[in-house]
Structure 1
Amino acid sequence: MIRALPAAGLGVTALAAALAFALDQITKWWILGPLDLRAVGILDIWPPFLRFTMAWNTGANFGLGADMGRDVWIGLALAISLALLVWSTRMRSSWRRAAVGMLIGGALGNALDRALHGAVVDFLNMSCCGFHNPYAFNLADVFIFAGAAGLILLDGSDNQSV
């Protein structure tokens, strides 16, 4: 038997997801459009800490699973986002719902990249203290990390029984 999702609590999750998704997509539009980082390649913003470096990621973190294919990654993002949405309806804490929303917004932002461009648009590169980081990331990745960290750090005893 399939039950409808309770509307209570979905607002916080949906708002956080929408904000994360929108901020991610706006930055990617700016990187690919007005800034045209594809042509520029690398742009030092705050050397040596922050630079914009154009990168296309067909896998997950650090390019892992690049051979899995675009459609598999899109399907995983959609399935996980739906599961997270359902899970968030059992949460009492608005903060945890917001954390789930950040995860969903980030996952959907990267999924849209894969659908539109065949790969995720990565452009943020941070290095420090003599260490050169060869990898780039984007705001969707930041939201996914922040959402996961929020779920770990926030009290998890707020889940209601089913």
Structure 2
Amino acid sequence: MARSAAGRAVAAGALIAILASVVLAADQFTKNLALAELPERTPVRVWGDFLQFYLTFNPGAAFSLGEEVTWIFTIVLAGAAVAVVVLGVTRVRSLRWAAVLGLLLGGVLGNLTDRLTRDPGFPVGHVVDFIHTPWMMPAIYNVADIFIVTMMIAVALLVLFGLRLDGTRESRRGDRPAESTADGGPDGRSEA
């Protein structure tokens, strides 16, 4: 049975809120655990050179870029969070998009929380980083970073595969346009 547009909107919004809350909670829990249990700037081997914990505080972006303009990252994170919420409320009807945007929002809120609440203070707090995978990259990161990076890749894939925010698919060149039907999918197929 086809779900109404309002029902799809509520389901998508609820999924975004739930996933964002779970990721935010996991991020802040792991950061607080790292602060309580790890020595600062001392490698702790978890699994040899594959996985280490290394507690550090990042005032900048990836690889500590932009350390002098931390407040700009706070504005960017806040803008990204607002954009995801606005899209979630006004346009997202696809559960795939809702899942990706919910996980992305949780990551953004995790690092935004650090910017707003951690030392040296509002709005220039340093992000708590503690996960280090030397074999993969020299960066030290956190749970929020993992979700931000992977969900940005997922956004690119959804766009690449032509899935619109409402769950319909874009037509390819030469194909006739995909039309939205009552259940939100092209040709009467509902997208989950």
Structure 2 length normalisation: TM-score?
0.71
- Contact conserved, 1:48 with 1:127, CA < 8 A, in 2? yes
Are the equivalent residues in 1 in contact too, given 2:97–2:165 (CA < 8 A)?
A: no
How do 1:1-150 and structure 2 match up within 5 A? 8=10, 9-33=12-36, 35-38=37-40, 41-69=42-70, 71-89=71-89, 90-115=91-116, 116-117=118-119, 118-128=125-135, 133-150=137-154
Determine the C-alpha separation between the residues in 1 that align with 2:57 and 2:138: 13
Contact 2:62/2:139 (8 A) holds in 1 = no
Classify the secondary structure of the residue corresponding to 1:75.
Answer: helix
User: What is the count of residue pairs matched by the alignment?
Assistant: 150
Unmatched 5+ residue regions in structure 2? 1-7, 120-124, 169-192
Per-residue CA deviation, residues 75-101 of structure 1 (Å, 9 max, x unaligned), is: 221111111121234123212111111
C-alpha distance in structure 1 between counterparts of 2:58 and 2:162, whole Å: 33
* 8 Å CA contact 1:58, 1:66 repeated in 2: yes
CA distance in 2, matches of 1:102, 1:7: 17
Where has structure 1 moved over 4 Å in runs of 4 or more? none
Q: State the structure with bigger RCO (CA 8 A, min sep 6), 1 or 2.
A: 1
Secondary structure, aligned partner of 1:37: coil
* Greater Rg over alpha carbons, structure: 2
**Identity across aligned pairs (percent)?**
32
Q: Which residue identity is paired with 2:20?
A: A
- The normalised TM-score by structure 1 is 0.82
Deviations 1:49-97 (A, max 9, x none): 000011211111111222113x332222111111112123412321211
The letter for the 2-side match of 1:136 is I
